[in-house]
Every structure is written in C-alpha cells, then in structure tokens.
Copies of this chain bind each other. A is one copy, B any other.
Amino acid sequence: MTMRRAGAAGRLASYLPVLDWGRRYDRRAFLSDGLAAAIVTIMLIPQSLAYAMLAGLPPVVGLYASILPLVAYALFGTSSTLAVGPVAVVSLMTATAAEAVAAPGSAEYVTAALILALLSGLILLVMGAFRLGFIANLLSHPVISGFIAASGLLIAASQLQHILGVRAGGHTLLEVGRALARGLPETNLPTLVVGVAATGFLFWSRTGLGPALRRLGLSSGAAALLARTGPVVAIAISILAVVGFGLEARGVAVVGEVPQGLPALSLPPLDLSLWTALLPAAFLISIIGFAESVSVAQTLAAKRRQSIRPDQELIGLGAANLAAAFSGGYPVTGGFARSIVNFDAGAETPAAGAYTAAGIALASLFLTPLLFHLPIAVLAATIIVAVLSLVDLGALRRTWAFSRFDFAAMAGTILVTLGFGVEPGIVTGVALSVLLHLWRTSRPHVAVVGQIPGTQHFRNVLRHDVVCAPEVLSLRIDESLYFANARAIEDIVQRAVAERPQVRHVVLDCAAVNGIDASALESLELIMHRLGDAGVKLHFSEVKGPVMDRLARSDFLRHLTGRVFLSHHEALGELAPETTRRADLAARPDIDAARTFPERASRRPG
C-alpha cells in the first residue's frame, strides 16, 4: 500500500488510511474480511472476558474494550491483519498499575483502568505526531522476548489460584507462590477438576483438535480454523456442566451477571494527581503495547509483501486506546495469536476489525446472559494456555550461544520481571540493553594494519602476513567515535605510539568510522596535540563523506598536523614511499593466506 498522493487529499489519506483502501473496497474483500471477523469474534469473546479478569476488571470491560477500539484502529491503522483488543501482558500491566492507586473491585479501580487507556492513547498519539516510533526500538529483541516469557510465567502462576479455587494475589513469582502455598489446603476439588480438564482440553486443542477434525473428514484449512474454536467449545461445555451438575453449589466460582447492552460513552474524570500517578505506568504500557503490536504487524505484512508504517501505527493504536477510554474499556493493543488467526482466515483489510467489533457488540447485546454460569476456572485455563505458548526458553540458549551481552540483557529482564514485577522488569531490560551497548562500543577494536604485498589492501598485522613501514603507524579504528569511547581511543593511540619510539606518523584508517561526535572531536584534538609534542604527525585516511563534512565544520582540519588521504594506500605511498613501492611490486605469495581470512577469523580477533 503506497500512500503518496498529491496534495491535501494524499496527506489526509496518509493519516486516515481508510480513505485509501476504502475506495478500492469490493464484494470479494467484504466476504474475506467477514469470514475472518466471524472466526476472530468467536476467539475474542472468551479472551476478552479472561483478560479483563486478569486485569482485575469486571468481565464486561473486556467486551467493551473489544468494540470501539477495533473500529478506531480500522480507521487509522495501517496493518490489514492486526487484531486489536485486550492482550495478556498489557492486562497484567494494567492490573499492576491500577492496584497501586485503588482497591481491586472498587469503582476507583475501573476508573484507573480508563485513565490508563486515556493516557496511553494520548502518549501514542503524541509519539505518532512527532514520529517517535523509534523509541520502541530501545526494546531490543532479547529484552522483549525475555520480558514476554517472564510475564507469561507470572501470568500463568497468577491464574493457578482460579484453577485451585482459592485467593492468591501478588506481583512477583515469590509472592504468588507463597500465596498459593498458603491457599493450597483450601483447594476446592470440583473447581480443580473443571480447571484441569479445561486446561488439558485447551492444550490438546492447540495440537490435537485440528488433526482430529481432519480425520472426521474436514479439509485441512477448515480443520485448522475450527481448531481455534477450542476455547469457545470449552466455555460451552463448562457452562452446561455447571448447570447440569449444580457445580455452583459445590463451590465452583462463576462469572455471574454480565451487564447486557452496549457501552455508554463517557469521559474519564480529570483528576490530575491520579493522572500523574498513572503516567509512568501508562508510558510503559504504551511502549510495550506498541512494540509487541508492531512486530506482529510487520511479520504478517511481510508474508504478503505488504508493509506497515510504524509512525502511523502509533496513531492507530493511540486512537484505539482513546476509544477504549471513552467507552468503558481499558488499554488495548494488537494481539499476537488473534492476529495470526485473522491473517490465516484471510482478512484483507482493516475492515475485518470493524466487523469483529460488530460481532462483539452483538455478543454484548444478546449473549451475556448465557455467560452467568461460566466457571472462572475455565477463563483461567484459557489464559494459562495462551500465555505459556509465548514462553520460549530455547531463546535463552540461542542467545547465550550468540552473545553474552544480549544474554545478560535477556536474563536480567527475566529475573527482574519474575522477582520484582513487570514494570521494574521492563525498565531494567531497557537500561541493560542500552548500558551493555554503550559498554560494548566503549572498548573499540583497533587494529594495527599493514599492506598485503602486491595489493592495495591493508589488513590486521595479527591475522595476515603484511608489510609495515617502521616510521608510520597505521591504525584501523573499528568503531564510530563518540562520547562513550572517546577516552579509550586516546589511551589506545597513546599506548601504541609509546611502544614504538621510531614512529613519526600515525595514520588513522577511518573506513569503519561512521560518525564522530563533539566528545570524540575533543579527544582527537587532544591526541593530535600530544602526538605533536612528541614530534609525531597525525593523519587520516578513508574518511567517509558524512564524517568529513562534519569535521569540516570545526577548526580541527585547519590545525591538523598531518593530512587527510583518500585511501590508506595513498597515505603510505606519500609517507613511506620506499616501503610501499617494494610492497606494491612484491609477488603475492600470501594472497591465499589473505583469502583464508574468514576461516582464520575464528581464531584471532580481527
């Protein structure tokens, strides 16, 4: 979908993508979207009830959060398959934030959830207006996957109370575990039976229901889609069981009365002190929700060679959260599992989301009386099965093998999330990613390089047989120069020159220097003056265009004791003509050694 069109209409369409795809909308797209919406609706009814419960809210709030927000996203979003609504991690974060300012079950608690949606919507819109989508990139892949795995474990643990039929709250794994241990003796057996049966059935339905349906003669596509109805089947059967066996009298907790009808439009109260208290949590909810949603949307768009626009996604999700705030919902974002179902079922445009909203609206109008006898243990089972599928502990092993730094960020995020809760977890993850990145680049790799005889190439003297001129020290800097490594470069150059008293010229090969900031400029000036005091000139080679442009804006080049050479070979040709001529004319006995570079790379640093 390209959105560029001339004039104001084009600009408007870029902010309101529906104007673009809407004018191409036809009967075929309607049928595809309608089918996908029907399937997602069936999936969303139990999920919305369950996630509202996870957020500590009345079940109906989950339904409300699945109506207007979906319509808002359909108008402003750019993904044709993202299914917006309540999701597990954001629900848990909502519970954590709301519990900090209000008692669960109170009217203030519901208000806090509304304010979180409102603030989150405003934050996302502001980020969209200023094109700040890049902030979500601060969540590195290991941090996100660690955070989602740890949240999944926390959520699953927190739902065990409903399977056991006891009360056990807590924000950390330890708190939840202790509360469960205390509650264990009061386990309600009928609830446990219902809960375990539902969990077992739902796990089986993920992998076994599809093949079973195929054996019954269904096409594999239809079987795969029908297999997604597992949660609805579990709900229907469990309601019948509760009514048939009179399980409520035996202590099985049920959802109870769910208000019938559509949400009323209303404005969350303007309570500044409450807004201020909830702002940090709303910010984290926005960032996590956006990052999760964008990665799902991008993955699905790529499969169809479409693309999404992350900055417009901020607007779409912002509008969805504002809609949630004005219609009795709570924070929403794009869900992983539902979006995949929507994609598989053939959704073609964001209209599928609007049709899903209509489906949920119908359910709110007509189906809520049926939910009275729905056991809470079955909702808990739905949540447990959904979140455990997000836990990918194999990623820990793969990340460990690839990079200790990334592993440290991932493990830190997981441990802090489990041990201290979701908000400290995500903050720690981001801080670790950034600090480890700064630390990694704070010790730049600098190689002494020499000429490969018979070529114009220069390579690390430690890895290759190369020719060096004794009076010229060639240093290749393998990092952009900025504040975190500027002082390290001073040290490295100073030490390298101190070890070679015969050196008269230092040439810094800057082919891998992609940027130089003011701190690094200061360090380069210091290096130049120190070398100058020792009678050594400082030269540069292979400086990139943008870096050269930048240096030209300061006094540095005017005071430079040496010169800036286009290529490193040219520099050596000027500064050590004798050595270079011999190296140029030499046979190339070790060109094969040079070619073995990738193999030898595994032994020595580069």
On A, residues with C-beta under 8 Å from B are 134, 137-143, 298-299, 302-303, 305, 307, 310, 398-399, 401-403, 405-406, 410, 433-434, 437-445, 456-457, 460, 463, 478-480, 482-488, 490-491, 494, 511-515, 517-519, 521-522, 526, 529-530, 533-534, 543-546, 548-550, 552-554, 564, 566-567, 594-595, 597-598, 600-602, 604-606
Contact = CB atoms under 8 A, between A and B. Distances in A.
Contact of A140 (B134, B139, B519, B600): B519
Contact of A534 (B305, B433, B550): B305
A147 B485 CA distance: 20
A334 to B, nearest CB: 16
A138 B602 CA distance: 32
B434 A438 contact: yes
A485 B485 CA distance: 19
A517 B605 contact: no
Given A305-B533, A514-B445, A545-B601, A398 B554 contact: yes
Nearest to A400: B553
Contacts of A305: 530, 533-534
This chain: copies in complex: 2
A97 B79 CA distance: 50
Contacts of A567: 457
B406 A517 contact: yes
Contact of A545 (B463, B482, B530): B463
Given A141-B519, A566-B595, 4 more contacts: A141-B486, A460-B545, A546-B601, A564-B598
Given A533-B305, A545-B601, A483 B566 contact: no
A572 to B, nearest CB: 16
Nearest to A510: B512
Contacts of A514: 441, 444-445, 478-480, 512
Nearest to A398: B554
A33 B141 CA distance: 56
Identify which of A141, A406, A522 gathers the most chain B CB atoms within 10 Å of its CB. A141
A134 B543 contact: no
A598 B463 contact: no
Identify which of A490, A553, A564, A595 gathers the most chain B CB atoms within 10 Å of its CB. A553
A307 B134 CA distance: 41
A545 B606 contact: yes
Nearest to A477: B514
Contacts of A545: 460, 463, 597-598, 600-601, 604-606
B517 A140 contact: yes
A137 B515 contact: no
Contacts of A606: 544-546, 549
Contacts of A456: 456
A487 B521 contact: no
A440 B598 CA distance: 31
B548 A598 contact: yes
A514 to B, nearest CB: 5
Given A305-B534, A402-B554, A514-B512, A438 B138 contact: yes
A397 to B, nearest CB: 11
Given A302-B526, A460-B545, A597-B545, A140 B402 contact: no
Nearest to A597: B566
A361 to B, nearest CB: 35
A518 B405 CA distance: 9
A515 B440 contact: yes
Contacts of A604: 545
Contacts of A440: 515
Nearest to A483: B140
A141 B522 contact: yes
Contact of A549 (B134, B410, B491, B602): B602
Contacts of A406: 517-519
B402 A483 contact: no
Nearest to A406: B518
B445 A517 contact: no
A480 B479 CA distance: 8
A289 B401 CA distance: 39
Contacts of A402: 518, 521, 550, 553-554
Given A142-B518, A517-B405, A437 B483 contact: yes
A142 B519 contact: yes
Contacts of A401: 553-554
A517 B142 CA distance: 10
Contacts of A444: 514
B543 A598 contact: yes
A543 B597 CA distance: 10
A137 B437 contact: no
19 contacts: A134-B439, A134-B488, A140-B517, A141-B519, A142-B519, A299-B526, A305-B530, A402-B554, A444-B514, A479-B480, A512-B544, A545-B598, A545-B600, A545-B601, A545-B605, A548-B601, A552-B602, A564-B598, A566-B594
A506 B514 CA distance: 22
Contacts of A437: 482-484, 517
